[in-house]
Amino acid sequence: MRGNRHGGPGEGSLTGPHGVLRRISEGTLKLALRRRPRFQCPICDYRGPFKHYRDAHHWIRDTRCPRCASYERHRLQFLVMRELGQTHDFANMAMLHVAPEPVLKILFERQFAVYHSADLDRRGVDYRVDLRAMPFADASYDLVYASHVLEHVKQDERALAEIRRVLGPSGVALLPVPILSPHTIEYPGPNAHEFGHVRAPGLDYFERYRKVFGSVRVWSSRDFDPIHQLYTQEDRSRFPTRASPHRLPMLGECHPDYVPVCSGRPSIDIARAGERVG
């Protein structure tokens, strides 16, 4: 919800995606990086090398599109949304976009009949909300989009129940989190060195979604053309570190990203089953 890795002021552009200054800086970048691999951004159609990301605790290769500022997760999510658009009529749907990414917000605003943005504490959104207690009526939305949010939320089961509640019966929720661990590890508290994460999710994290939704389809980087560079290229064998003492090492330096698409109700409603047993 806040302080996500790539949610900083670099997203968006003073000169716009097709501005003259941006074109000049793209040309300079391509010259400087001419020996680096070339990719194609599915969002803005930029073709060429992507930028690295580096801060005190992270070093990720070939991640950022220099034109639209997308990272691999945005590109993967864009491709998944394009697939969903084949079977869903976005022009007749209401979307709630939590912690909106500027590069995707400008697309979704145009695609959906109703578009609302929300965040816990960011300005410039339609609603300031806590995902665990949203002020919306049941079945208010057809699609809820909350990327890299739940790893910041304690009591995430409350947030998941709320997301399901505000979705209509045929609603869809896209709830990607960074997969940072061989299995999910809960932290004793938010880690300021990890943008406030309260856990390191593993692939088993999506089992929590299956308790709330009838269907969870998990798309991955492997489902699309590698020309779009949809992998997180980061050495994760170095964990745990002093800044991330609870993270476990992961093998390799090229990690797929994932987009779980949740829909429907589980065949057995766990809460009601519990009521009956009780």
Tell me: does residue 103 bind Zn ion (CB under 5 A): no
Question: Residue 49 or 171: which CB sits closer to Zn ion?
Answer: 49
Q: Which is nearer to Zn ion, 2 or 47 (CB)?
A: 47
The site string for Zn ion over 33-72 (x = CB under 5 A, - otherwise) reads: --------x-xx-x------------------x-xx-x--
| 26: enclosing H helix or E strand | helix 20-32
Pairing verdict, β 94-98 and 215-220 = unpaired
Residue 240: is the preceding peptide bond cis (ω within 30°)?
yes
Nearer to Zn ion, 46 or 224 (CB): 46
Please give the helix or strand (H or E) that residue 165 lies within, else none: helix 156-166
Minimum CB distance to Zn ion smaller for 40 or for 220? 40
Nearest approach, Cβ of residue 156 and Zn ion (Å): 31
Per the structure block, which two tokens stand in for 211?
């308790």
Q: In terms of CB distance, is 44 or 175 closer to Zn ion?
A: 44
Q: Residues with Cβ < 8 Å from 252, sequence gap 6 or more?
A: 236, 237
* Binding map of Zn ion across residues 141-180, x = CB under 5 A, - = no contact: ----------------------------------------
Residues numbered 178 to 207 that lie near Zn ion (CB under 5 A) are: none
Q: Compute the least distance from the CB of residue 50 to Zn ion, in Å.
A: 9
Does the footprint of Zn ion cover residue 261 (CB under 5 A)? no
Looking at beta carbons only, is 69 or 146 nearer to Zn ion? 69
- Shortest gap between Cβ of 111 and Zn ion (angstroms)? 17
Query: How far does the chain reach from its first CA to its final CA, in angstroms?
Result: 36
CB of 230 to Zn ion, least distance (A): 13
Residue type present at position 249: P
**# residues contacting Zn ion (CB under 5 A):** 8
Task: Assess 6 for contact with Zn ion (CB under 5 A).
Answer: no
CB of 33 to Zn ion, least distance (A): 15
CB of 95 to Zn ion, least distance (A): 21
Sign of the dihedral through C-alpha 72, 177, 182, 261 = negative
Looking at the Cβ atoms of 140 and 229, the one nearer to Zn ion is 229
Name the minimum Å distance from CB 29 to Zn ion.
13
For the chain, how long is the longest CA-to-CA vector?
68
Q: What does the DSSP assignment read for 40-79?
A: E-TTT--EEPPEEEE-SS-EEEEEE-TTT---HHHHHHHH
- Number of H helices and E strands in the chain, helices first, is 6, 15
Distance CA 166, CA 171 (A): 9
Q: Is the dihedral of CA 151, 154, 160, 162 positive or negative?
A: negative
Catalog residues that contact Zn ion under the rule CB under 5 A.
41, 43-44, 46, 65, 67-68, 70
